[in-house]
Amino acid sequence: MINSNQRAPQRPPVENLIMDDIFMDQEERSRAQSYYQQVQQEAELNMCKFCNKQINDIEKRNNNVTMLQSSDCFHQCHIDCLREEAVNQMSNSQSVKCPRCKENIQQWELNTMLSEEEKKTIEKNQILSIVKENPNFVSCHCGNIMEFVPGQIVKGQKDDRGNPMTHEAAQHMANFRIRCLECNKNFCTQCNAEPYHTGKTCSDFNAKSCRYCADKLTQPSPSMKPAFREVCRKADCFGLMQQSCDKMLPCGHPCFGSNGEAKCMPCLDPECIEKMDPRVAPRENKDDFCNICYCSGLGQEPCLSLGCGHVYHVSCLKQRIQKQWNGPRIVFNYLDCPQCKQEIEAPHCEQINSILKKERQLQAVVVKKVMERAKFEDLHKDERLKKVGDPFYNDLKGYALKKLSYYQCFKCQDAYFGGMKDCEAAQDEAQSFKKEELVCGKCAAVAVGGGVKQCPKHGQDFIEFKCKFCCSIAQWFCWGNTHFCEPCHKKQCNQ
């Protein structure tokens, strides 16, 4: 046995044995040379023709070796070596050859070896090679290749913010902006920005700009905080900076939320959103327009991410809630997300929660009155509530809110019943009206100096007046002395 510390004696090459053995006669020497040639041929057969390394039995058992068939040479090689050579050669639109016999390897054989990812890499590199060799050709992100011809300058163009475009920006747009006919997206052929940076040259677009107004920064920021490094000194931008969150997120981007929020909202940068779990990721990014104002991007003003995932400007959402309902009739759709219609939830934004709390209180009062009135009007006996498949099946609250009309009294600000409301009439309720003419029964009784002001059983909620002209329940109190129902009030307004 050989000691572990000793090396096993190495066998000298057959060629050396033949040349060094001086005691061999001619016949023995001939047999040795024949044996040597046979060993060399076997070694040649079991050698990869791409990397020139021996192919062992383990690689054969693991199916890591192939025999070239389409070239009719049947040389063996490693599959990984063949795939690497195929990617390199085919990316440059060159044929793949056997290194030993220089015969072409057919495409069908290569396709059986290449993975889908490698095929995409080859296709992408071929496109880039074509574009590189032809300066008039450009490639879109979708893979489409187009021939680009510069256009003419169009006078009177405006940028994304509606400002007149400079001559330099208009010239750049004519020379480098193109729209892909396959994906219908426009991009810049010079810097590959998608979409095209309308109103800016590539240098202006890539230069640092104000996060609020997008103008090029020419002076230091008014704040030393990292979140406000890219803010100009305009009065409007300075005001937006004071309303914005001053924290930096772990990803390195500034928080796009509002000042005073209890918890920072998720990052709105598109690259960060792609890495998030889709169940918690925002549904818009900083470049998308606010779906309430449609005037500026979400990253240009302090934002708020609702519980449903939709993002809006804080100021836009606040204004929408404070404006309340459209038309005379009280409806609470302004408390829902404008896109998915779920109830607005903003647990970390105090300025939104404070106004939501007030509106929810009004909603609770109206719902309570609606449910009491529904029983009085026998709506709980309606067949629609019992019919399976009906939108209001087992939903008395929703059905009552749909059928009963409540208005807000101009004098006491309380909600009062104004009669039944069908779908046809609801279509016209956004007509122009005067809030001063919406007066509840108790305030109207005081105004005319008569009638019952307090019912001993129902209080003031069920005090009603009839229309002066048709005796239906009145919803309008005009001129300080006349009650109108909805149809008669429309007739009077149209005269």
**Residue of 374, 344, 372, 337 lying closest to 360 (CA atoms):** 344
Q: What residues contact residue 357 under an 8 Å CB cut-off, 6+ apart?
A: none
d(CA 205, CA 389): 55
Q: How many residues does the chain have?
A: 495
196 Ramachandran zone, left/alpha/beta (phi>0; psi -120 to 50): beta
d(CA 44, CA 484): 106
On the CB side of 51, how many CA atoms lie within 13 Å of its CA?
14
Phi and psi dihedrals of 311, rounded to 5? -120, 140
d(CA 269, CA 289): 14
d(CA 177, CA 424): 50
Residue 17 has a CB neighbour count (10 Å cut-off) of: 14
Catalytic residues: 423, 478
**Residue of 414, 440, 421, 432 lying closest to 487 (CA atoms):** 421
d(CA 152, CA 171): 8
Residue 337 has a CB neighbour count (10 Å cut-off) of: 18
d(CA 475, CA 328): 10
